[in-house]
Amino acid sequence: MDNTYKTNKYRQPLFEIVGMTSTELTFAVAFANMESEQTKNFCWVLAKLKELFVKKDMCPQVILTDRDLALMKAIEIVFSGSINLLCRFHINKNVGAKCKQHVVNDLQKTIDTLWMEVV
């Protein structure tokens, strides 16, 4: 679950929900134009999504996000039985950015290599 920012003519966030198969292929589940990225708006979208799952007698077991705190709170409210994990892509991006602030260039390549071995 993630938002794209102000890329439509209404300049509203587009909330994209994707699923992933066992072979790591992604597929679109739902999209929603949102007024703003507030917990109440995320709750509304997730409640509508949950209605679809309930009809099929299933709910997501794991949900990945980019650490959007409002979204994480909404997931906790609407999908309380689901595990909320942080997206590996965003973790890697943030670790790289933070490391660059504190190390010299020569050491950065070594840190990048070692970090990729960890994840």
At 109 the pLDDT is 75
User: Do 9 and 46 lie in a common domain?
Assistant: yes
Asked whether residue 82 falls in the same domain as residue 100, the answer is no
21 & 48 share domain: yes
Say what the pLDDT of residue 110 is.
77
pLDDT value at residue 3: 84
Same domain, 60 and 15: yes
Whether residues 82 and 96 share a domain: the answer is no
Identify the domain containing residue 26 by its residue range.
2-86
pLDDT score recorded for residue 111: 75
Rounded to an integer, what distance in angstroms lies between the CA atom of residue 54 and that of residue 4? 27
Q: Number of folded domains in the chain?
A: 2
Structure tokens given for 17: 């929900």
pLDDT per 10-residue tile (average), the chain, 119 residues: 80 90 92 92 95 80 91 96 87 77 73 77
Q: In this structure, what token pair is assigned to residue 43? A: 């709750």
Q: Are residues 105 and 75 in the same domain?
A: no
Strands (E), the chain: 2-4, 14-20, 26-33, 62-65, 83-86
Asked whether residue 61 falls in the same domain as residue 13, the answer is yes
Say what the pLDDT of residue 93 is. Answer: 80
Examine the domain organization and report whether 76 and 92 are in the same domain: no
What CA–CA distance (Å, rounded) separates 62 from 112? 27
